[in-house]
Structure 1
Amino acid sequence: MSYPTPDPFRATDAVFLPNPKQDFLLLLRGKIASTRGATLMLMAWVLSSWTLINGSLTVVAQEANARRTVDGPRCNLPWVEEWLDSNIPSLVADYWWLHENPEVSFEEVETAAYVAKAWEAAGLEVTKNVGGHGVVGVLANGSGPTIMLRTDLDALPVTEATGLPRASTKKIVTASGVSTGVMHACGHDVHMTNLIGMARLFSAHRDQWKGTLVLIGQPAEERGGGAEAMLKDGLFTRFPRPDAVVALHCEASSVEQVAFRAGYMMANVDSVDIRVHGRGGHGAAPHTAIDPIVQASELVLSLQTSVSRELKPTEPAVITVGSIHAGTKHNIIGDYCDLQLTVRSYSPEVREQLIAAIRRKAKGIAMAYGAEEPTVTLSDGTPSLFNHEALTLQLKNRVSASIGPNYVQEAEQVMGGEDFSQYGIAGVPVCMYRLGVIDAGRLAAMKKRGQTMSLHSPEFYPDIDRALPMAVRSMAVCAVELFASPPPKK
């Protein structure tokens, strides 16, 4: 289906300033033509006025250039830039409220209420409690494509150590009884603020686009399950089914840089629990027992060859044993040893191969020790994120043309997980891109000290005054592009 929408990117990013020099010369020329008997007094006035005007013009040009330098990148949608110039302070205030009031996965009550209220105030039709604490906002604006933009709502059980004057001081006790702080250490506060900005921007400029804008606030991204819960609760059936779903994610890299990658971008994430069974006994008489710790130790080493010797070297994969627990005392051989694994891959075929190898090796080593077959439990995982290739290339090219190629990069593949992938598995073209949010000088200073910044760090915080305008700017460009030229159906 085609949508006869005029090209929204017809404007350029040039700045047109008034030209008092030219205007003055035209006025003078007319004056002289009509008053040929001009006196020397007039000429003296011309010379003095020219000096004053020339100096004023220099100041005007310097101020304009300085403003553009301070503002950094700008896109070729003037209405977006004008809105940003006037509205960033209010968005920053939204950001700080969200930053100071984080909530962990499945508990995003106040967060969801804040986002819903902001979207309602912007004129969206809002539905709450979709798939738990999920929020959906719909802004219908005539005939055209349906474009969905997603933010996550949840924070992490991390005690903030940024030293910011408005740092999170929230405390919780986890289900395991551990007291911890809570903070937005993964940039979800930026993501939410960005979609508050998108709601206000697109509601205020309905003459610039046609179609339906759907915003979703998704719960429980960090623990997984939030996207699937919203889909099961009718996200694509109760609300307009989107032609594309787009999201951005903060990255601990140089601020104002955006990065796209078509195809696989983030990994399958599987959690595996193994109980290795033995036979208890005295530490001084190991021949009377079956030591589960020795058995588990051999399994840990053997699992690493599942990656290095059973997969093609070009296939990314990780098996990490993150936890081993066994025994109660120095001289007692216990009955069992528990292992917790995280398994990462991209393709479904490699994922299945890794899981099969874990089961096979655990069983084989147990047989070699004469032990009972181990218990292997696979938890529901997060599927790998596959960015729709045509959609991603379309958005990358548009952002590069609109904001400038110096601000657009090719994103690296990572072995982290993101349940945004569920929307693509549900049959809709998806694209998640990354946004650098850390001041380059801060990154350089940390590198000099031998340190690195990362997401989920208690010291993570964005350069919000520069990151937030770039978030709104880049996503606005993506949305306008898709309203004008929706991606092909799968």
Structure 2
Amino acid sequence: MPHAAHENINVDPKLADLYKDLHSHPELGFQEHRTAEIVATRLTALGFDVTTGIGKTGVVGVLKNGPGPTALLRADMDALPVKEDTGLDYASTATATDQNGKTVPVAHACGHDLHTTCLLGAAQILSTDTASWSGTLLLVFQPAEELGAGSQAMVDDGLFDKIPKPDVVLGQHVAPLPAGKIAGHAGPSYAGSDSLRVRLVGKGAHGSMPENSVDPVVMAAETVLRLQTIISREVPSTAIAVLTVGSIHAGDAANVIPGEAELQLNIRSYDAAVRERILSSVDRIVRGEATTAGAPEEPTITEIERFPIVVNDPAALGKTLDAFADWLGEDNILDPGAGAGSEDVGILATSSGAQLSYWLLGGTDPSLFTTGDMTDPALRTVPSNHSPHYAPVIEPTLTIGVSALVTATRTWLPSA
């Protein structure tokens, strides 16, 4: 009798040491050279056909194992410009130069070190137990997820000319849920995100002579207030969207009216039509306020980063979560609803015509929770991704993360 997809999974205990090493040596997006070298070396030793340097620092391993479908498993590798404050004995003290030439602290505050370790652990099991699955396995270790650019960079660099197109894209993201829980939401699951930089040009003057100025501070203030009406008055009340002005900068002295002001804003949405409407409204409002103020130059709006809406195929996610329920029990499978966070994993699916099945992996000490579901009050207090205090508990998170990837692979690539 064949084994269930979740059976006979023996996770290498030495993976914890690998995880600690990666955690201690984080690298920013498109700078993941050390991590990529570790990944490529390990995949090569396991018998994968390895290609490096896709999308600058991306690594792909291909393992063909008889007839069957093709599954792509993805892990992101990059870290964040955050100063770690976890108190762990393997905490990061690294710094790096970011894309703007600034020296910044670097930490794996989003758990991509865990993602990379889990996928390498799954690779170890799947390459040595080939009787448990049949088909073609594609392991994609992606750079620069935090920049919203890594998946697209790999695709633009000919990823799917170098490897077969998959039938399904599988992946996971560690989250501040109890370790031992897995969560997934069908349909639009993670928000599309657009970050913009707005430059408003005025005319500088001495603070005692405002009549000689076109004040960009006032222009910026009016723009910020008017932007707030987009969600409340232009987006349908049934749609979910957020517009945040996260940064305003103008001038450096109290008695000087500056020549320009800069706003940075972020838009989150779950529907392509709503997104386009918001972007169009931002453009109209920014240009309208500049005209009203008598600005001597047109304002500029430039994209900082963009994440597409992530859409989980309902049938594909259901197939994966059913396998997880058989393994962990129905009570340990949650529906978190549509999340406001953003991801670029969906590009790998849409660019290849594959279904997407992407889930959240609980990574926080279960003893901190009471109900353990999506209503648990601890969800508002435990450190979350991107916090300087965030780091997943190694076990059982690592074992469950590896086992989830192996279980999902065997579910989609069943043995002949």
Q: Tell me which interval the TM-score lies in, with the shorter structure as reference length.
A: over 0.9
* 1:451, distance to aligned residue in structure 2 (A): 4.0
In the alignment, the residues of structure 1 paired with residue 205 and residue 403 of structure 2 have an alpha-carbon distance, to the nearest angstrom, of 66
The partner residue of 1:260 within 173, 184, 201 is 184
Q: In the TM superposition, what are the counterparts of 1:75-474 in structure 2 within 5 Å?
A: 77-80=6-9, 83-84=10-11, 87=12, 89-176=13-100, 178-372=102-296, 373-379=298-304, 381-426=306-351, 427-442=353-368, 451-474=381-404
Q: Deviations over 1:173-216 (max 9, x none)?
A: 43545443221111111111111111111111111111111111
Judge conservation of contact 2:19–2:114 (CA < 8 Å) in 1: yes
Quick check: 1:443–1:452 contact (8 Å CA) kept in 2?
Answer: no
Give the AA of the match of 1:126. Answer: V
Give the match's secondary structure for 1:413.
coil
Post-superposition Cα deviations, 1:25-50, rounded to whole Å, max 9, x if no partner, equal xxxxxxxxxxxxxxxxxxxxxxxxxx
1:384-421, CA deviations, whole angstroms, 9 ceiling, x for partnerless residues? 11111211111112211232112100023222211112
Q: What are the ranges of 5 or more consecutive residues in structure 2 without an aligned counterpart?
A: 371-376
Q: Give the letter for the 2:215 counterpart.
A: D
| Whole-Å separation in 2 of the counterparts to 1:158 and 1:327 | 27
Residues 28 and 79, structure 2, Cα contact 8 Å, conserved in 1: yes
SS state of the match for residue 237, structure 1?
Answer: helix
Match of 1:66 in 2: none
Match of 2:373 in 1: none
Q: TM-score, normalised by structure 2?
A: 0.93
- Sequence identity of aligned pairs in percent? 39
Larger Rg computed on CA atoms: 1
Q: Say which is worse superposed, 117-126 or 250-259, in terms of deviation.
A: 117-126
Amino acid at match of 2:236: K
- What are the superposed Cα offsets for residues 224-274 of structure 1, whole Å, 9 maximum, x if unpaired? 211111112222221121110101000012111100111111111112111
Q: TM-score, normalised by structure 1?
A: 0.79
Query: Which stretch of structure 1 is more off in the superposition, 243-252 or 375-384?
Result: 375-384
Give the 3-state SS of the residue equivalent to 1:309 in structure 2: helix
Larger RCO, structure (CA 8 Å, separation 6 or more): 2
Shift of 1:370: 2.4
Equivalent residue, structure 2, for 1:15: none
Q: Distance in 1 between matches of 2:362 and 2:381?
A: 18
Residues 7 and 303 of structure 1, relative CA distance in 2, 3 Å threshold: farther
Answer 1 or 2: which has greater strand percent.
2
Aligned residues: 408
SS of residue paired to 1:246 = strand
RMSD: 2.1
Alpha-carbon distance between aligned partners in 1 of 2:301 and 2:7, rounded to the nearest angstrom: 58
Per-residue deviation, 1:298: 1.0
Distance 1:346 1:78 in 2: 37
Q: Which amino acid aligns with 1:137?
A: G
Residue 387 of structure 1 aligns with an amino acid whose one-letter code is N
Query: Could you tell me how far apart the structure 1 residues matched to 2:69 and 2:361 are?
Result: 25
2:402 matches 1:477: no
Report if aligned partners of 1:116, 1:135 keep a CA contact under 8 Å in 2.
yes
More helix by share: 1
Distance 1:200 1:435 in 2: 20
Return the alpha-carbon distance in structure 2 between the equivalents of residues 262 and 423 of structure 1.
Answer: 17
SS at match of 2:341: coil
- Mapped to 2, the partners of 1:150 and 1:236 lie a distance apart of 14
Matched residues in 1 for 2:248 and 2:2: separation? 59
Instruction: Report the CA distance shift for 1:146/1:439 in structure 2 as closer, same or farther (over 3 A).
Output: same
Q: Is the 8 A contact 1:321 1:339 kept in 2?
A: yes
> Which consecutive residues of structure 1, in runs of 5 or more, have no partner in the other structure?
1-5, 10-75, 486-490
Rounded to whole Å, the distance in 2 between the matches of 1:371 and 1:132 is: 41
For residue 17 of structure 2, give the secondary structure of its aligned residue in structure 1.
helix
- Residue identity in the other structure for 1:79: N
Tell me what 2:374 maps to: none
